[in-house]
Chains A and B, each alone.
Chain A
Amino acid sequence: MRNFLLSLLCLLVTTATLSAQNRVTGNITDEDGVPLIGVNVLEAGTSNGTISDFDGNYELSVADGSSLEFSYTGYEVQTVVVGSQSVIDMVMAEGVNLDEVVVTALGIERKKRALAYSVTEIDGGDVAVAKEINVGNALAGKVAGVNVSNPSTGPGGSTRIVIRGNGNIAGNNQPLIVVDGVPINNDNLGSAGMWGGQDWGDGLSSLNSDDIENISVLKGNTASALYGYRASNGVILVTTKRGKKGQGLQVELNSNFQAETFVDNYDFQREYGHGLNGAKPTTEAEAFAQGLQSWGGRLDGSSVIQFDGQSRPYSDAGDNLDRFYRTGKTWTNNVSLSGGGENVGYRFSMTNLDNQGIMPNSGLDRNTFSAAVNGSSGKWLGSLTGTYVKEEAKNRPRLSDSPGNANYTAWSLPPSININDLKGDPNKLGADPDTGFELQFNDNVFVTNPWWGTHQFAANNEKDRLYGNASLGYEFIPGLILQGKVGIDRFTERRTNLTPYGTAFSNLGGINESNRTVQEVNLEATLRYNTDINENIGLDVIVGGNQQKNEDETLGANGSNFNVPFLHNVKNAANQSVSYGFSRYQVNSLFGQAEVSLFNSLYLTATVRQDWFSQLTDPSGRDSENSILYSSFGAAYDLAEGLGDGLPDFIDFAKLRASWAEVGGATDPFQLGLNYGIVGQGHLGIPLGSISNGSVPAAALVPSTSKELEFGADLRMFKGKVNLDVAYYNRETVDGILSASISSTSGYGSKTVNVGKISNKGIELLLTLNPVRTTNFRWNVSINYAHNDNEVVSLLTPENDGEEIRLEESRTRNAYIHLVEGLPYSQVMGFSYVRDGSGNIQLDDDGLPQQGELMAFGTGVHPNSLGINNQFSIGDFNVGFLVDIKTGGKIYNATNAYGYFRGLHKATLEGRESGIGAVLPENVEDYYQRIAFGISEEFIDDADFAKLREVVIGYRVPRRLLQNAPVSDVTLSFAARNLLILWSKTDNIDPESTYTNGNGQGLEMFGVPVTRSYGLNLNVKF
């Protein structure tokens, strides 16, 4: 390792002058003579290149005997032998670039035309202007078949990305994230469940959009097959920005400000105030007991007592959410230095992101430092990249259940109560000024004063993360390259979770402090040979090995019951305990890939990989099936080359492709065998011991496997004006390893099993149109459509004959997310009304509706998505807007269930004056409360939506205005996200309001509201 780094260092400091250099300059225009800006000019066969400036000029130093390659989106690639020329002007012809390269598995760049599978690339600029703190969210609506959910968890929360549908019954369904060729951790560090909690962020939230050059999405199994067991959910390859060799020093500043407001879907009743049985409270005690009940009298402006003994007008107290949530602000400032010498390119970048969330007193601060150096010396090639991220999240908001969850309370207040009246002590929000304890406003201690929740509770975490890799290659002969690579991703997460002294549900308070260290190291060696055997046969072969080692260790100190009031540290706690967690695993792999190209038209690719897992190795040393072999095959046929003139003229390019792959997934370590642990510190000096497994361990597990067949076509027509890429896939995942819910009366909540079969079939369509392409006006439309047909084919194995598996449960305890045989993944389950033969709701003797059977109401995952992205260039302006449409999913609207329970929902107005059937007006709450937590059918909504997801308006200052300025390029953009909900069917909530990024999607409950953001981005290059 040390030698390796030394060699790399030597390589970088060597400024070799191996061959004579020629300086070439020139001007690039289109066929109308209009200068083209940003044309890529590359010394063929090298990474030496530059781009044309505003006036179409370029300048590049190249070696003797080299050629220049000019490429520009929408234009044909041109290649010119330099020879003795020092000025080469170029006129670019509209057309199709057939030699585009894309980044594929292991970071290997391959020609797009040779690929037997679908890969979608996103330019870094597309996620850098209309920013999201978690870059994953910025992918929403942009790639066919990539389903991004952004849980309502506040800034720095996790995102959920699922490609081509959920395939794993349990465990991870999200793609592998690879940065510059090395996998990074994307574990969710904790999310809310039915009992509340916070989202503690994920691995993607550390990525800095300003450093991203491009993102390549490997959707299918074939595309990701070289990743073996990590491939079954697809792969997202992130390539970070590099300095270009031969380019002078460039300083770039990017400054982005975004304001953020909550999307107000709140539409609860404003006619009846706090109280019960249709009556206003008359005593302080009564008002306190009814602090969360909106079953009182009609608001009439009379003076009515409230929880604090004060009488206030019994009238609409106004918009509490508007008072409570503030305007969020995010500043992102990036400065980068990049450039390169003859053989070296470098880039250094620093980014500060400073966020204040819409939730009072919450925010995120993220500092990113990254460095990338790449270079070559003779036959040596090397690169070194490293990113250090420090992410500090302040007060990650509590979600779902009520304790400490300010959202819960803010949404539950009766219309006659003003949230500002709960502020209490102005110097200690949410506290009773006399005692310093939580100012309670109702008799349920678990419904926390919202200001106490935001200002006195603490849920902070600080992440220090370092990831990067070093690689060194040697080219023995042209085309034969040996490469070694070391990648590391290590982070420590320091977390503080405080329930303060004086909290109603825990008067003496408590604190949990923890420190978690997660590390993954990958060692990889590859040997690649790329050659043309003759003019008709090309060969590209790669063999290699990888060793992956992971460790995860958590040390915690917990205290409860503070001795000295309000002194919140562990040592001040009357009860102290420590916790410790540890896991580790290792996977060793060997892999290879061979691509044969025949007659420049037929491309055949095969891959093979064998993985050995420690997780599947029996700890007692008994023989266990701990390895698996994966393979893939693909073929791509270029019709234009193959058939020559057989194709109509308007077709520029046509490719058919087909592929098949088998890949897999593994599981967590330490799952084989029953273990016992010592419980706590004993009792009365006696040790306590018990089974530590909450899930029945499996006797033996096999890795899950996923097989996918993919067909596709890539068509480019009318000189690139119409481009169509279609894909059909059919994937089956079998033997998923999961913790299946079993009856708790078995003693265990779940069982670790290899079960089932899940099928995902679907089509993806990407249509790109360039209808107008004139000098001053360009219009580009890109439409991506995807349909995924998911089915849980079977959950059956001989020892586990349950037909349903429970993934999640709502806090209301009458809605669930199940996997149900024969139905799509993530079924939203609820109890129906009891109905008579003709479907009418049947009431019981008291005139109340009755809880019927538990039924599946549909999947919580949208099967259909449509993204429509329009881009206009008008002179120096460009305008883009993205409409994101998803349909077919369901969501359980717990906000409405509570709205029924507390008399807040508008539907509960019916009958307050006249009663409902046999139910008297004063008892009308019995009717609605029966529905609220009994009949979940009422609250399962269609989650379909169409949103104006993104709008960007950019203005690039014309070059002529900058002639005497010290800057070379200035772009000012307006960017907005989630600007409008064009269409949705969920009342009171946003249809995307889930609170977890786990597999069980489709439950909503009092998350941080979805936000709309708008702001400015200024980019300056010097």
Chain B
Amino acid sequence: MKFFKNKILLLLVALLAVQTSCDDGFAEINTNPQAAINIDPNFQMSFVQLRTSGGRYENWRAGLIYSSMMIQHMSALCGYWTGDKYTYNGGYSSSLIDRAYNEQVKDMQDLINTLESGTAGDQTMLGMARIWRVVIFHRLTDMYGDIPYSEAGKGFLESIDFPKYDSQESIYMDMLNELEQAVGQIGDGGFGSADFIYGGDAAQWKKFGNSLMLRLAMRLSEADPSTAQAWVSKAVAGGVMDSNGDDAFIQHTNGPEGINRNGIGEVLDASNGFGDSCPRLSATMVDLLKETDDPRLQIFGLPAANTGEYAGMPNGLDETLIQDNPTGTSVDDFSRINPAIVLVESPMMFMTYAETEFLLAEAAVRGWGASDAAGHYAAGVTAAMNMWAHYDASLALDAGAVADYVAANPLDEANALEDIGEQYWLATFLNEYEAFSNWRRTGFPNLTPVNYPGNVTNGQIPVRLATSPGEGSLNPNFQEAATRQGLGTDFSSHMSVPVWWDK
């Protein structure tokens, strides 16, 4: 019995002992051995750049299915290629904005916050990061109009769960200021090899910042010409891209994981195991290329499987309608996209020297701080022809052929804006967001809309992408922005409402 009495005592002592240290070692137990509390800014910048290139999800939906079709770079018979027919698929339409804040903006804001606080990194890094933030946001506002900007991506940093929607006008004004300040910050330091765009080259980043400023400034040409002119002049004076070596792009690789691959390639590259076989080159683009004997036809597409000839497929057809189509009654009567430029390891373009030259040509035409429109135009066309060497050395065009084309197709001063618009449109093939934006601003090239049964735009080419009803119903700040922009309750109708700069 005594033995057991001792045991009771022992138990009570044990219980007491437990009580005095009931949470011993708990802090260590609750430390995640798989994660870090801090991150090297280099790692995060690399991540954000790569993520901005985008995944298959939004490149497929917002990029290809909507943008490439609406602006008639490509066409498709398949019903789910809704941009070809101006029909509405909410998830496709909002795919870019659905993904971008989580995958791009969140880490972008966090990185800038770290750099601003001075706990890591340097001022040059901060300048480059701020430029990159403009890359992300201008694309979003161009596609969707008023969006969360000043409060966006700050769910942790500032506990903002439901960011307000800033007007596109205010976003643009701020982005232009940001670019000016950011370029001014760039000096010594930077991201070095962690920077996939320029390998840390400060001079190239400055040119990129100014070129982006030029793009953004010109975007305001219709909505606010005087502001546009002032910023165009400032950008030109600051120094913009001056060779294809300044092109801003990310080189992708085939794996090892999804993040490494080109999102467009993940849709179209059949050699990687998935190839959406629906899209063809649009008749609009092939006809234009053929008209001028443009050597890029061979770069952009393949001869049609059935005929061995280059042919573009008209937009707005399906398997039934194509049977009455005079130029071909089967999808295989038309040219596929050249697989060599849509591989999973293909580069993704953000901005090119060619575009910059076209913007300068336009500035010259408008008399906004630049001159020699024809010269810039010719340089732009040349650069646009040569840029495909970034995709594969075998796609480099013969210099003579390029020169011949340029000589044969000089800028027509009487229709300068149209010529520039057409070339800009060709130069932004596979940068479909930018092509869609510039077309909306300039109206060039002249595109003939289709009128497919069941379209939601009354037979007009959509002029924006609709955000998701999910965000609309979740974020209490959405309604105010919708009202401000004249967006109704039916999200499919939003695609007919121009954004602010689209006058």
Report the separation of the CA atoms of residues A193 and B163 in the bound assembly, to the nearest whole angstrom. Answer: 27
By the criterion CB–CB under 8 Å, are A746 and B162 in contact? yes
By the criterion CB–CB under 8 Å, are A277 and B320 in contact? yes
Query: Is A464 at the interface (CB under 8 A from chain B)?
Result: no
By the criterion CB–CB under 8 Å, are B26 and A746 in contact? no
By the criterion CB–CB under 8 Å, are B34 and A677 in contact? yes
Report the separation of the CA atoms of residues A584 and B29 in the bound assembly, to the nearest whole angstrom. Answer: 7
By the criterion CB–CB under 8 Å, are A670 and B32 in contact? yes
Q: Annotate A640-680 by CB proximity to B: 1 below 8 A, 0 otherwise.
A: 00000000000000000000000000000110111111111
By the criterion CB–CB under 8 Å, are A527 and B11 in contact? yes
B109 CB contacts on chain A under 8 angstroms: 747
B159 CB contacts on chain A under 8 angstroms: 696, 799
In this complex, the interface size class of chain B, counting residues with CB under 8 Å from chain A, is 35 or more
By the criterion CB–CB under 8 Å, are B153 and A747 in contact? yes
Query: Is B155 at the interface (CB under 8 A from chain A)?
Result: yes
In this complex, the interface size class of chain A, counting residues with CB under 8 Å from chain B, is 35 or more
By the criterion CB–CB under 8 Å, are A443 and B78 in contact? yes
Q: Annotate A801-843 by CB proximity to B: 1 below 8 A, 0 otherwise.
A: 0101010010001101000000000000101001000000000
By the criterion CB–CB under 8 Å, are B26 and A586 in contact? yes
A875 CB contacts on chain B under 8 angstroms: none
Distance in angstroms from B197 CB to nearest chain A CB is 12
Distance in angstroms from B367 CB to nearest chain A CB is 39
Report the separation of the CA atoms of residues A476 and B1 in the bound assembly, to the nearest whole angstrom. Answer: 8
Report the separation of the CA atoms of residues A678 and B44 in the bound assembly, to the nearest whole angstrom. Answer: 9
Distance in angstroms from B256 CB to nearest chain A CB is 5
By the criterion CB–CB under 8 Å, are A281 and B320 in contact? yes
Question: Which of the segments B98-106, B222-230, B373-381 contacts the partner chain?
Answer: B98-106
A670 CB contacts on chain B under 8 angstroms: 30-32, 35
By the criterion CB–CB under 8 Å, are B43 and A689 in contact? yes
Task: Given A746-B101, A806-B474, check contact A680 B257 (CB 8 Å).
Answer: yes
Task: Given A285-B331, A617-B27, check contact A545 B18 (CB 8 Å).
Answer: yes
By the criterion CB–CB under 8 Å, are B90 and A676 in contact? no
By the criterion CB–CB under 8 Å, are B161 and A800 in contact? yes
Report the separation of the CA atoms of residues A934 and B492 in the bound assembly, to the nearest whole angstrom. Answer: 9
Q: Annotate A732-759 by CB proximity to B: 1 below 8 A, 0 otherwise.
A: 0000000011111111110100000000
By the criterion CB–CB under 8 Å, are B260 and A747 in contact? no
B270 CB contacts on chain A under 8 angstroms: 507
Question: Which of the segments B271-279, B286-294, B352-360, B426-434 contacts the partner chain?
Answer: B271-279
Query: Is B15 at the interface (CB under 8 A from chain A)?
Result: yes
B11 CB contacts on chain A under 8 angstroms: 482, 525, 527
Question: Which of the segments A66-74, A326-334, A360-368, A851-859 contacts the partner chain?
Answer: A851-859
Task: Given A286-B320, A590-B22, check contact A620 B27 (CB 8 Å).
Answer: yes
By the criterion CB–CB under 8 Å, are B469 and A814 in contact? yes
By the criterion CB–CB under 8 Å, are A852 and B489 in contact? yes
Distance in angstroms from B276 CB to nearest chain A CB is 7
* Docked complex: B91-135 residues within 8 A CB-CB of A: 91, 97-98, 101-102, 105-107, 109-110
By the criterion CB–CB under 8 Å, are A508 and B454 in contact? no
* Docked complex: A622-638 residues within 8 A CB-CB of B: 626-627
Selected contact of A831 from candidates B18, B330, B469, CB within 8 Å? B469
Distance in angstroms from A576 CB to nearest chain B CB is 7
Distance in angstroms from B113 CB to nearest chain A CB is 11
By the criterion CB–CB under 8 Å, are A508 and B155 in contact? no
Report the separation of the CA atoms of residues A690 and B44 in the bound assembly, to the nearest whole angstrom. Answer: 6
Query: Is B365 at the interface (CB under 8 A from chain A)?
Result: no
Considering only CB atoms, which chain A residue lies closest to B106 in the complex? A747
Query: Which one of A527, A674, A852 has the highest number of Cβ atoms from chain B below 10 Å of its Cβ?
Result: A674
By the criterion CB–CB under 8 Å, are A742 and B161 in contact? yes
Report the separation of the CA atoms of residues A82 and B433 in the bound assembly, to the nearest whole angstrom. Answer: 94
Task: Given A575-B257, A683-B50, A747-B156, check contact A277 B32 (CB 8 Å).
Answer: no
By the criterion CB–CB under 8 Å, are A582 and B33 in contact? yes
A283 CB contacts on chain B under 8 angstroms: 319, 323
Q: Annotate B57-85 by CB proximity to A: 1 below 8 A, 0 otherwise.
A: 00000000000000000000111100000
Query: Is A929 at the interface (CB under 8 A from chain B)?
Result: yes
Distance in angstroms from A290 CB to nearest chain B CB is 7
By the criterion CB–CB under 8 Å, are A746 and B163 in contact? yes
* Docked complex: B1-45 residues within 8 A CB-CB of A: 1, 4, 7-8, 11, 14-15, 18-19, 22-23, 25-40, 42-44
By the criterion CB–CB under 8 Å, are B29 and A586 in contact? yes
Task: Given A612-B22, A673-B37, A684-B251, check contact A691 B106 (CB 8 Å).
Answer: yes
A627 CB contacts on chain B under 8 angstroms: 22-23
Report the separation of the CA atoms of residues A745 and B35 in the bound assembly, to the nearest whole angstrom. Answer: 24
Query: Is A567 at the interface (CB under 8 A from chain B)?
Result: no
A610 CB contacts on chain B under 8 angstroms: 22
By the criterion CB–CB under 8 Å, are B319 and A669 in contact? no
Distance in angstroms from B151 CB to nearest chain A CB is 8
Considering only CB atoms, which chain B residue lies closest to A676 in the complex? B39
Report the separation of the CA atoms of residues A850 and B493 in the bound assembly, to the nearest whole angstrom. Answer: 10
Selected contact of B26 from candidates A443, A626, A741, CB within 8 Å? A626
By the criterion CB–CB under 8 Å, are B35 and A934 in contact? no
* Docked complex: A581-603 residues within 8 A CB-CB of B: 581-586, 588, 590
By the criterion CB–CB under 8 Å, are B43 and A580 in contact? no
* Docked complex: B288-328 residues within 8 A CB-CB of A: 318-320, 322-323
B15 CB contacts on chain A under 8 angstroms: 525, 543, 545, 590
By the criterion CB–CB under 8 Å, are B273 and A506 in contact? yes
By the criterion CB–CB under 8 Å, are A279 and B320 in contact? yes
Considering only CB atoms, which chain B residue lies closest to A583 in the complex? B32
By the criterion CB–CB under 8 Å, are B155 and A748 in contact? yes
Distance in angstroms from B140 CB to nearest chain A CB is 9
Selected contact of B18 from candidates A279, A586, A590, A688, CB within 8 Å? A590
Considering only CB atoms, which chain A residue lies closest to B101 in the complex? A745
B37 CB contacts on chain A under 8 angstroms: 673-676
Distance in angstroms from B465 CB to nearest chain A CB is 15
Distance in angstroms from A624 CB to nearest chain B CB is 9
Query: Is B245 at the interface (CB under 8 A from chain A)?
Result: no
Query: Is B490 at the interface (CB under 8 A from chain A)?
Result: yes
A614 CB contacts on chain B under 8 angstroms: 23, 26, 29-30
Query: Is A577 at the interface (CB under 8 A from chain B)?
Result: yes
Selected contact of A926 from candidates B33, B105, B274, B454, CB within 8 Å? B454
By the criterion CB–CB under 8 Å, are B39 and A619 in contact? no
By the criterion CB–CB under 8 Å, are B330 and A285 in contact? yes
Considering only CB atoms, which chain B residue lies closest to A740 in the complex? B161
By the criterion CB–CB under 8 Å, are A690 and B454 in contact? no
* Docked complex: A762-802 residues within 8 A CB-CB of B: 799-800, 802
By the criterion CB–CB under 8 Å, are B490 and A934 in contact? yes
Task: Given A677-B36, A684-B253, A743-B471, check contact A560 B273 (CB 8 Å).
Answer: yes
Report the separation of the CA atoms of residues A577 and B38 in the bound assembly, to the nearest whole angstrom. Answer: 24
Selected contact of A696 from candidates B39, B43, B46, B156, CB within 8 Å? B156
B469 CB contacts on chain A under 8 angstroms: 813-814, 831, 854
A525 CB contacts on chain B under 8 angstroms: 11, 14-15
By the criterion CB–CB under 8 Å, are B274 and A443 in contact? no
B319 CB contacts on chain A under 8 angstroms: 281, 283, 285-286, 288-290
A740 CB contacts on chain B under 8 angstroms: 161
23 A-B pairs whose Cβ atoms sit less than 8 Å apart in the complex: A286-B319, A286-B320, A289-B79, A289-B319, A510-B273, A575-B257, A590-B18, A614-B29, A618-B30, A674-B156, A683-B196, A688-B259, A689-B40, A691-B107, A741-B474, A742-B474, A743-B163, A745-B97, A747-B109, A747-B154, A747-B156, A802-B474, A929-B454
Given A277-B453, A525-B15, 18 more A-B residue pairs with CB atoms under 8 Å apart are A289-B78, A482-B11, A574-B255, A582-B34, A584-B29, A617-B30, A620-B27, A675-B35, A691-B106, A691-B156, A696-B159, A743-B471, A744-B471, A745-B148, A746-B153, A747-B156, A799-B161, A850-B490
B residues touching A (Cβ–Cβ < 8 Å)?
1, 4, 7-8, 11, 14-15, 18-19, 22-23, 25-40, 42-44, 46-48, 50-51, 77-80, 90-91, 97-98, 101-102, 105-107, 109-110, 147-148, 152-156, 159-163, 193-194, 196, 251, 253-257, 259-260, 270, 272-276, 278, 318-320, 322-323, 330-331, 453-454, 468-471, 473-476, 489-492
Of all A-B residue pairs in the complex, the 3 with the closest CB atoms, nearest first, are A508-B273, A689-B43, A747-B106
